[in-house]
Amino acid sequence: MQQINQDVLAVLSTVEITGTNVKITEQLDRKLYQQVNEVLERIGGKWNKKAKAHIFNSNPTEKLEAVINSGMLELKIKTGYFPTPEKVVKQMISLLEFQRGDIVLEPSSGQGHIADQIPRESLIMCEILSENRAVLIAKGYQQNLIGDDFLKTHIAGVNKICMNPPFELQNDILHVTHALDCLNPGGILVSVMSSSVLFRNNKKTQKFREDILSYAEVIPLPEGSFKESGTMVNTILVKIRKRDVK
């Protein structure tokens, strides 16, 4: 495995993908260009002078996402469900400042690794994968499940949100933004997120940093925090106390 520096990852986050072609959208100095070129070649891109792009055999979006999220080369990363390790869950619960009477939303409940640490009478949940829902029902969470697809479920009036959303295609930004709409003013949201939200330069990430991360508490997680769950994606915890907009 090879660690990729953040300057290279930032450039990769801004490339333009058209079909199987990848174009670098900014002028780079020679050293940085060589580093970016190496990554693109290592994941299957071949420079084409006429097209002024690196050409792949198939759409490279997933490969690039895996590299950006992990900061690594030669690492097989699947997307989707990765259970939250117990050590991370305990840290999240501590940050949540849970108090008796709070209504806690767990929007992507998986198989209950976070939910198991929250009093059931305080918990409402969503989970989109049918196999995970079956596990949750078997564990007795049927009454807590209020929806499957969180992004299509109307929820309001919660005091706390504790979440580990999907990361692929920057869905963590979409889920956290939607979750904030469900939270009461003054309420607290704690979420695992890809550390790429700290350095990506596309419009979605820049807006998220300006609108939300600018007043959030960001806690880096150690490298390999999700290794036991099957991924080496670099992660952070984000704690957001929702502002009362007047």
Q: Taking 60 as the threshold, does the pLDDT of residue 246 lie above it?
A: no
Distance CA(152)–CA(6), nearest Å, equals: 34
- Mean pLDDT of all residues in 96-114: 95
Query: Are the beta carbons of 68 and 197 closer than 8 angstroms?
Result: no
Helical pair 171-182 and 203-211, crossing angle rounded to 10 deg: 30
155-202: per-residue pLDDT in tens? 998 999 999 999 888 999 999 999 999 999 999 999 999 999 999 989
Least confident residue range of 103-117, 165-179, 217-231:
217-231
For 157, how many CA atoms within 13 A lie in the half-sphere containing its CB? 5
Domains and CATH numbers, the chain: 2-73 (no CATH), 86-241 (3.40.50.150)
- Mean pLDDT of all residues in 89-113: 95
What pLDDT score was predicted for residue 77? 43
Distance CA(173)–CA(208), nearest Å, equals: 7
Residue type for 79, please?
A: T
- Both tokens of residue 231? 């991924």
pTM, two decimal places: 0.73
Comparing 19 with 246, the larger pLDDT belongs to 19
Q: Taking 80 as the threshold, does the pLDDT of residue 245 lie above it?
A: no
Least confident residue range of 8-17, 70-79, 175-184, 219-228:
70-79
